[in-house]
Structures are given as C-alpha cells and as structure tokens.
Amino acid sequence: MHEVVVGALVRGGQVLLVHRSPNKHAYPDVWDLPGGLIEAGESELDGLTRELHEELGVQVAPASVAHLCRLTVGPAEEPALLSAWLVHDWQGTPANVAPEEHDDIGWFDLEQLPPLAHVLVRTARVNAMRSHCG
C-alpha cells in the first residue's frame, strides 16, 4: 500500500491549498493540501518536510507540526494510507515550485474552503484550525 503525507500550512486563520493539475492521475483538477508519496525509509514527518520543500520551497519547523488524521483512501484495488498534518511554522515564502504538480496555490479562510479530494481530511483540518489557530 502506498503511503501519502499532506500538510496544512496555516497562518492567520487561513490554510494554504494547491490546485492539482488537470493532468494528474489521482484527483485531477481539485484544490487540496500539498504533499505526496513517502519514500522508502522515510518517516511521515521526513516525507512531509521533503514534499513541502519540493512543492512549495519552504522548510518546515518540525516542532510546529501536529498530526490531524490518518485514513485509507482511493479505490479498493489500489488503496493508499493518507496522513494529514497541521503545520504552524516554516521558513520561506510558499510558492508553486512544482508547476507540473499544481497549476495554482492560494490561501483560504475556513469559510472559503473549496471542496477537497478527501472530506475527512477537510473536516479534521477545519476542526483543528478552529481549536488551535484562533
């Protein structure tokens, strides 16, 4: 089973989302959290740190990361284990440094969140932001 990690960068009550390219095999043309596959030998946190650096050009502060949820997603014949994390602190300005993955990025208020690929991740993120992000 593939393992996938995604991160919700939050600031001032907003969350950063990426718009997945229409050419993506999995979940094309939707807004979602940045992230990707965990590589062999990586922990979830290592994979999250690498993916956010590759996709957004930021360096995650590991002490600022909190686990949101873990769930199985995808079709029964090819499921993936998805782990979502809340990221409160990072270095660098998030930018779309992986245009082959996403065609846009943007900050969204809780009230403006578009539908995401995984409803349970959206629910966990909203609840966590309301509880911990002021």
Domain 27-99+123-134, CATH number (from 3.90.1150.10, 3.90.79.10, 2.70.170.10, 3.40.50.300) = 3.90.79.10
- Give backbone dihedrals phi and psi of 17, rounded to 5 degrees, phi first: -120, 155
Domains of the chain by residue range: 27-99+123-134
Our CA dihedral for 2, 90, 58, 108, rounded to 10 degrees, sits at: 80
What distance in Å separates the CA atoms of residue 22 and residue 83, rounded to the nearest whole number? 23
Could you report the per-residue pLDDT of 26-77, keeping only the tens digit for each? Answer: 677 788 889 999 999 999 999 999 999 999 999 999 898 999 888 887 777 7
3-class DSSP assignment, residue 93: coil
The per-residue pLDDT for 123 is 57
Q: What is the pLDDT of residue 90?
A: 96
- Per-residue pLDDT tens for 71-115? 887 777 777 788 989 999 999 999 999 988 889 999 998 778 776
